[in-house]
A and B are shown apart, each in its own frame.
Chain A
Amino acid sequence: MSHDEDQIALRQRWISILAKADSNKLLDLWSKKPETDAFQVLRKPETGLVMVRGRMGGTGAPFNAGEATVTRCSVRSTAGHVGHSYVMGRNHDHAMIAAKIDAQLQDETRFETVMSEIVEPLAEYQSEAKQINREKVAATKVDFFTMVRGED
């Protein structure tokens, strides 16, 4: 993979984590950070609908599964980095903070600290939640089998 592709994959990861983060958790982590940056808002948080498309079995023909409420936001940091966010739901604070964090993460001097203070804790929390869910599902797993009925 080229350097650019690495960068894209990296940004995709943190944007995904920020978008999926639990709002309260994100707001909590953000409020603990000493806020020193000023941001100019390019696009205030705005809520709209997007059509979610799916594929039957993951590989079939695409179909419209339904509409989802999404809030998006864009900001520019004083250093000139433009941060974007698209977050499911109507939480404007979440979208605004996610966009600000995206802008900060593009700043190489801030990357390490923001990553370890906000993104990694969120990622850890998300994988824990996933694991708990997985365990709950596994505990209710039912194996189906048929008794031999002795007819033939």
Chain B
Amino acid sequence: MKAALSAGFENPPVQASHAFRMLMTAMAQPGIVQFLPFEIDFPKPLNAGSAMIMLTLLDHETPAWVDQDLSQDPVLDYLKFHCGSPIAKTPRNAMFAFFKHCPDQTVLSDFAIGTPEYPDSSTTYVIQLDHLTPDGDVALSGPGIQTVNTFGAAGLNHSFWEWAKRNHAEFPLGNDVFLASNDAIVALPRSVRILEMA
């Protein structure tokens, strides 16, 4: 028998609003760690943060791309049942991309970065990490940040930061990133300037 389906939000209208508010705050205040407002049921190898993003932001109009490690029946069933999202055939068509581990910069460069007319038609990345902490070595500045915001992220490699700097240089095009752990979320929109990295 196939692995049983996980339940999503217990009370979808209310919980989706709270989760959406949290994600919006995260994007508006880059580098500030937002803790998940409640617990949800999700299948492994997703984590709570990425599952919450999936349930909140994805629907039948947002093709999703999941990396090889996440591309397993429990995750795909969860995505299909709760969000109804199609699976993107190529990275270029994806509105959201989910990664179990920090991907290499060559992978991150495969996705859509938007067009000058529609910079919003780029892929949003969701990268699963083990830990996110309010203090750490990453320092950011830019829109939404008064002076400097710092946070700690375990599991991001050098290649990712190289990519992030180039991503910022391409503004207003580029990709927005959510870092997701089991209890928190940090957003790195394309507008953010990276001062120091882990």
Contact = CB atoms under 8 A, between A and B. Distances in A.
Interface in B27-82: 81
B8 A42 contact: yes
Interface size classification for chain A = 10 to 19
A82 B5 contact: yes
Q: Is the interface of B mostly helix, strand, loop or mixed?
A: loop
Contacts of B8: 42-43
Interface in B1-16: 1, 3-8, 12
B1 A42 contact: no
| Dominant SS among interface residues on chain A | strand
Contacts of A76: 4-5, 7
B51 to A, nearest CB: 14
B4 A41 contact: no
A48 to B, nearest CB: 13
Interface of A: 40-44, 74, 76, 80-82
In the A-B complex, the 6 residue pairs with the smallest Cβ-Cβ separation, listed nearest first, are A80-B4, A42-B7, A82-B5, A76-B4, A40-B7, A42-B5
18 contacts: A40-B7, A41-B7, A42-B5, A42-B6, A42-B7, A42-B8, A43-B8, A43-B81, A74-B5, A74-B81, A76-B4, A76-B5, A76-B7, A80-B1, A80-B3, A81-B4, A82-B4, A82-B5
